[in-house]
């Protein structure tokens, strides 16, 4: 828990979120500024800053394998997009690692812009 971290505050229940899933390792909630009809954030309960600091193999596998399950649960049967922004030049704004899950619209192309 980092006291000045937005996502730690959401995990602690100090700030609201539209939660769609949680387990012992992660919580999943709706992005407040969705870039697609479905836009979820998969957020580990541990305060890990970014992909540069992620060294937990179990957590990594857990998050990756959760993505298709969440997508299916959201009715995204025709595909989805996963984005991880890392560091300021990678577009990361919240420095608590999170995976974006996007879908429900047409997400053609390489999709470097979100």
Binding site for ligand AMP (CB under 6 A): 6, 17, 29, 31-33, 41, 85, 91-94
CB 11 within 8 A of CB 102: no
Whether 98 is catalytic is yes
Q: Does 42 bind Zn ion (CB under 5 A)?
A: no
Structure tokens at 112: 């470097």
As measured in angstroms, the least distance from the Cβ of 8 to Zn ion is: 3
Please, what's the largest Cα pairwise distance for the chain?
Answer: 39
Query: Among 46, 48, 13, 10, which residue's Cα sits nearest to residue 30?
Result: 10
Select from ligand AMP, Zn ion, none the partner in contact with residue 17, using the beta carbon and a kind-dependent cut-off of 5 to 8 Å. ligand AMP
β-strand partners of 18: none
Nearer to Zn ion, 14 or 75 (CB): 14
Tell me, by CB under 5 A, how many residues bind Zn ion: 6
Inter-residue contact 82 to 99 (CB < 8 Å): yes
Letters for 68-87 (x = contact with Zn ion by CB under 5 A, - = none) are --------------------
Residue 45 belongs to what H/E stretch? none
Residues assigned a catalytic role: 98
């Amino acid at each position: 828990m980092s006291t000045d971290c937005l996502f730690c505050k959401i995990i602690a229940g100090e700030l609201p979120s539209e939660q769609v899933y949680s387990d012992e390792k992660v919580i999943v909630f709706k992005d407040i500024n969705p870039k697609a009809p479905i836009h979820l954030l998969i957020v580990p309960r541990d305060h890990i800053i970014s992909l540069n600091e992620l060294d937990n193999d179990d957590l990594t596998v857990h998050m990756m394998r959760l993505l298709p399950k969440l997508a299916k649960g959201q009715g995204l049967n025709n595909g989805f997009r996963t984005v991880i922004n890392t560091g300021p030049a990678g577009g990361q704004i919240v420095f608590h690692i999170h995976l974006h899950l996007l879908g429900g619209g047409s997400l053609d192309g390489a999709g470097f812009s979100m």
